[in-house]
Amino acid sequence: QDFYALTIIDYLLLKGKTSRLYKRIMTKENLAIYLNGGIEKRKDAAVLKIFAITNNETMAEICQKAILSELQRLRSSSVPDSELEKARNLFRRDYFRRLATSMDKALFLAEMHFSPVGVENPTMDLKRYLRVTPFEITAVASRYFTPENTVILNVRTR
């Protein structure tokens, strides 16, 4: 059940140029030269991955603090309705784009076949994502975005 809220959190944080992390890290504070990520789901487990490429160690540390700060913000304050609606709209757009080509439809139907929803009613699945509330966002973020659930890898190349 938490996966629906986690998916919307993914959109709040990472999807589009108005997402929280993009605005903060790429636009406002100019901390990274690359930002990407998303939820990876395997059976009943999911992980939120966030990747940022910076110019130096100092920027990497500041960027890491900014990311952790945004995760903490999700845990401690409610998402404004306007921001949540924007994330839902982006999700809805991406959901329907998955039906654009025959290959996309086949992949979508295969995914739905193995999901708890099944292929009989994919619109029911969409409605579950679109019903996620600010309270659910805060509750799920508080449950999963804790220091003991966080793994940070700093990779340096020369």
CB 18 within 8 A of CB 24: no
Beta bridge partners of 47: 40
CB 137 within 8 A of CB 74: yes
- Mean residue pLDDT of the chain comes to 88
Alpha helices in the chain (DSSP H): 2-14, 20-21, 57-76, 81-97, 102-114, 122-130, 134-144
Mean pLDDT of 86-114: 83
23 or 55, greater pLDDT: 23
pLDDT at 116 over 70: no
- C-beta atoms surrounding 142 within 10 Å: 13
pLDDT at 158 over 80: no
Q: What is the pLDDT of residue 75?
A: 95
Q: What is the pLDDT of residue 108?
A: 76
pLDDT tens per residue across span 136-157: 999 999 999 998 888 888 776 6
Distance CA 70, CA 6 (A): 14
The model carries a pTM of 0.86
pLDDT at 119 over 80: no
Mean pLDDT of 82-87: 96
Distance CA 114, CA 99 (A): 17
Instruction: State the pLDDT confidence band at 40, using cuts at 50, 70 and 90.
Output: confident
